[in-house]
Amino acid sequence: MANKAANAAETIKIEMSETTTPAPATATQEAEILAALGKRLIVLVGMMGAGKSTIGRRLAARLNLPFIDADTEIEAAAGMTIPEIFELHGEPHFRDGEARVIARLLDGGPAVLATGGGSFMREETRRRVAEKAVSIWLKADPDIILRRVRRRADRPLLQTADPAATVSRLLSEREPVYRHADVTIASRDVPHDRIVDECLDALRARLAAPAIDTASTAR
């Protein structure tokens, strides 16, 4: 009888271990990223349609940080939409306001900030981002960009006779500058959480891993 009871207990123990799903081992990774990040922000850069807002919201949720969309903040500050700013005042005026808003946001402490496609082209903004943030370039191919944005009317730069040619031109101008970002992640048609996981892995490698390696060496 004792042997049967022991065997039954062992069977239950084995079944529980096989059917219980362990919690994802991401808490430590995320804690390491936050500790290494300190007061800096995570800034997403890249072309329109690259997924900066979508990925940014999910990344912020995983890290328990506020999410900020720079375009939304610009519209709030101006009291009008971005297409209206372009139409009434022109692109140079918009870029000046964009730079001021991003500079203010970078002073606001830890957060995930999604920026407009052209904001990183300004040298002053790149310098501020380098000082106060860790930047991630979400790199998207032209066909993905066009498929995601061509039906939207809130993209002033794409209101042209040939949007595909415009995207190609913008990519050729901007990609050499986007490469200055700290981290590059390919934005493609896969589940959003997969891109977020890749961002977290890259952030940990960029931020936390060197500190861990240094600590190990010090011992």
Report how far residue 187's alpha carbon sits from residue 50's, in angstroms, rounded to the nearest whole number: 6
**Rounded to whole angstroms, how far apart are CA atoms 121 and 126?**
7
What whole-number distance in Å separates Cα of residue 193 and Cα of residue 177? Answer: 27
- pLDDT string in tens for the chain (219-residue length): 444 444 444 443 333 333 333 334 457 889 999 999 999 999 999 999 899 999 999 999 999 999 999 999 999 999 999 999 999 999 999 999 999 999 999 999 899 999 999 999 999 999 999 999 999 999 999 999 988 887 665 566 666 767 888 899 999 999 999 999 999 999 999 999 999 999 999 999 999 765 444 444 444
Whole-prediction pTM value? 0.80
- In the numeric block, the tokens 């139409």 are attached to 87
Quote the CA–CA distance of 43 and 23 in Å, as a whole number: 29
For 6, the token pair is 């022991």
Residue burial 54-75, b: 16+ Cβ < 10 Å; e: rest: bbbbbbbebbebebbbbbebbb
Mode of pairing for the β-strands spanning 133-139 and 41-45: parallel
- At 133, which helix (H) or strand (E)? strand 133-139
Instruction: Please give the order of strands across the beta sheet that includes 67-69.
Output: 67-69, 112-114, 41-45, 133-139, 183-186
Tokens 């066909």, residue? 143
d(CA 167, CA 98): 21
What type of residue is 41?
L
